[in-house]
A and B are shown apart, each in its own frame.
Chain A
Amino acid sequence: MADNQQIEMVGMNRSAYLRVLAFFLAPAVLIYTLFSVYPLLATIFDSLYLRHEGGALTFNGLGNFQTLLTDETWSKPFWNALRNNLIFFIIHMCVQNPVGLALAALLSLKQLAFRNTYRTLIFMPTMLSVVIIGFIWQLILSPLWGIWKMGLNAVGLGVLFGPYLGQEHTALITISLISVWQFVGIPMILIYTALLAIPDELVDAATVDGLNQWQAFFHVKLPLIWPTIGLVSVLTFVANFNAFDLIYAMQGALAGPNFSTDIMGTLFYRTFFGNQLQLGDPTMGSTIATMMFVIILMGLLVYLYVIQRRIQRYSF
């Protein structure tokens, strides 16, 4: 047995080997169980119960999920939040990741001066607190004194200005783009690292084969960084469906105007903790949290079983 061979290889008897295994695995297992597995299971468990006034719990099976998806009081905000969250994600995929890729490609140009300065500056917003980001952009976009308005006026494009954060049809896009601005450094750094790992001789070979810089990028470098782009996409997906803080900081828990920026995270927050006249409902909140978990899980499964299997990783 492979197991026995391994034990023999390290030169221990079976019980000593198991003790060593336990010693090294225990800290990780304990911490992971306490802070990750237990809360997850507790949440799923909670979502199966109904809480009555006074705090009594009764088992409700999948009744909460049925309520969430079919009872109009719950289903309308739920589908609204899910739709908004999808838009939020699509904007990230279509703007943040291509821009990150383009920035990474520019940074990897040898003739570019001040490379490290650009890299640091572009990555900086990622390290700032969301509260600061939200506050800065609220000031910039303010219809009263914001510099965005002055800037547009100065170049004669004043007609394009609107109270972006206050209009239902622009608020979500605006917030998404602010989030893109904040986090574009992450795909940039990951893709930049992947580009650096590609040997120069490969590009030389492509040059001798007649490709210019652009063509070498699309035909040689890009195919080699698909695995990283896949990874960036799945990270974006997970982060977007867990997002909450930027919207809470800029639009408040009600995710206004008229819930047009409400996403899963803010919906969960209002439901679980309550907000203004709405009382907190832990079991229904858990139901929403479980739905978020299921959605993220499905996204991950699609990535692992459909996308990642078709992507080949390369070593050089």
Chain B
Amino acid sequence: MAQVSITSLQKSYGSVDVLKDINLEVEDGSFVVLVGPSGCGKSTLLRSIAGLEAVNGGAISIGGKRVNDLAPAKREIAMVFQSYALYPHMDVEKNMGFGLRFAGTPKQEVAARVAEAARILQLEALLKRRPRELSGGQRQRVAIGRAIVRKPQVFLFDEPLSNLDAALRVNTRVEIAKLHKLLGATIIYVTHDQVEAMTLADKIVVMNQGRIEQAGKPLDLYYRPANTFVANFIGSPAMNMVEIEVTGKNKARTLAGGELGVPLPARAKAGDRLTLGARPEHLTLGAPGKGLTGQLDLVERLGEVGYAHLDMAGGGRFIVEVRGDVKAKRGDKVGVVPDPAKLHLFDANGKACAS
């Protein structure tokens, strides 16, 4: 297994820059998840690491060796594709062994490695089947098996769960996490699903418009988002945000006029505009007049918790986590009280303010 490091990576299609100065370190044996909205460049980055896309600048090295000019097969990587990309005309065994057989590996070794992978993934009973005789989940396992058989330095997963149904997705997610522990493999994994990112990753890399917005441990990203994009993207429901104007020391008001006591950074002066962010679980509903003011729109009850959706006085919507009964009815005015210790402040450029 090996470390992957990417420095100043650039990639453009004509005049469109899809990757802009990407710098990323993937530690040996770690599970890194690239996450971001569609078109953010995460798949392109993965395909660049695989060697399926040529890059315009920067360096990619795997295990300390620069691989920019190496063919994909020489990079010691294995890739699991979104559509699984199993060869339809080969049975499971041939699919898994194809790369090795093609590279001229002795037959016994191919057979042994395929058998080993089949054992790990419980595919033994399916070895003689064609892909079309397999269910989605089984195809997925074969695709992973094909990667394992290659004994790569790095596994690359391109949205591997997006073609599975919800229940299977949860199962397979757990399987992949177990597999990571079992193989001790370095994994780079692309998804647009932040739940997958949060549950699987050692390190999450949030991408947007060809740039890395923030990279870090899942909970660090959750508790200390570096900017409004990450704050919005990580966490479900998303973080609530409202623009505020500083009125004095640790005092601010919303643009709608609600007065707030919030711990502000020392350098905040009266008149500064900031964005206040609060996660749904760090807000509580109170009597009207306390904190911010909103009008209750609806309450989603999920069992253990519920989410109250509010139309805020200054425009915009808030989602507040509620436990137990909500007395207010639809259309009632309610107060929204933030937990001052758990608030996030972002400056006018969307960057988090150091507190």
Contacts and interface: CB of A to CB of B under 8 A. Distances in A.
Interface of A: 199, 201-202, 204-211, 215, 219-220, 223-224, 312, 314-316
A208 B99 contact: yes
A208 B72 contact: yes
Contacts of B82: 201
Contacts of B47: 204
B176 interface: no
B132 A208 contact: no
The A interface is mostly helix, strand or loop, or mixed, namely: helix
Nearest to B156: A208
Interface stretch (B4-12, B19-27, B83-91, B252-260): B83-91
A204 B132 contact: no
Contact of B85 (A205, A312, A315): A205
A76 B22 CA distance: 79
A215 B71 CA distance: 14
Contacts of A219: 102
Contacts of B72: 207-208, 210
Contacts of B132: 314-315
Nearest to B152: A208
Given A204-B47, A204-B81, A220-B87, 20 more contacts: A199-B83, A199-B85, A204-B50, A205-B79, A205-B85, A207-B51, A207-B72, A208-B52, A208-B78, A208-B99, A209-B98, A210-B71, A210-B72, A210-B73, A210-B99, A210-B102, A211-B102, A312-B89, A314-B89, A316-B83
B81 A224 contact: no
B102 A204 contact: no
B77 interface: yes
A205 B52 CA distance: 10
B103 interface: yes
18 contacts: A199-B83, A199-B85, A201-B82, A204-B50, A205-B81, A205-B87, A205-B146, A206-B87, A207-B51, A208-B52, A208-B72, A208-B78, A210-B73, A210-B102, A215-B102, A224-B88, A314-B132, A315-B88
Contacts of A205: 79, 81, 85-87, 146
Nearest to B53: A204
A312 B88 CA distance: 10
Contacts of A223: 89
Contacts of B77: 208
B77, B102, B146, most chain A CB atoms within 10 A? B102
Contacts of A220: 87
A197 to B, nearest CB: 11
A261 B73 CA distance: 53
B287 to A, nearest CB: 57
A199 B81 CA distance: 11
Interface in B57-97: 71-73, 77-79, 81-83, 85-89
Contacts of B88: 224, 314-316
Contact of A204 (B71, B78, B79): B79
B348 to A, nearest CB: 43
B89 A207 contact: no
A204 B71 CA distance: 12
A208 B89 contact: no
Nearest to A220: B87
A219 B98 CA distance: 10
A210 B101 CA distance: 10
B83 A201 contact: yes
Nearest to B143: A205
B106 to A, nearest CB: 16
Nearest to B77: A208
B89 A224 contact: yes
A210, A219, A312, most chain B CB atoms within 10 A? A210
A299 to B, nearest CB: 26
B52 A204 contact: yes
A201, A205, A208, A219, most chain B CB atoms within 10 A? A208
B81 A207 contact: no
A205 B139 CA distance: 14
Nearest to B78: A208
B47, B72, B86, most chain A CB atoms within 10 A? B72
Interface in B136-178: 146
B83 A208 contact: no
Contacts of B89: 223-224, 312, 314
A212 to B, nearest CB: 8
A224 B99 CA distance: 18
The 8 closest A-B CB pairs, nearest first, are A210-B73, A209-B99, A205-B85, A201-B85, A314-B88, A223-B89, A201-B81, A208-B72
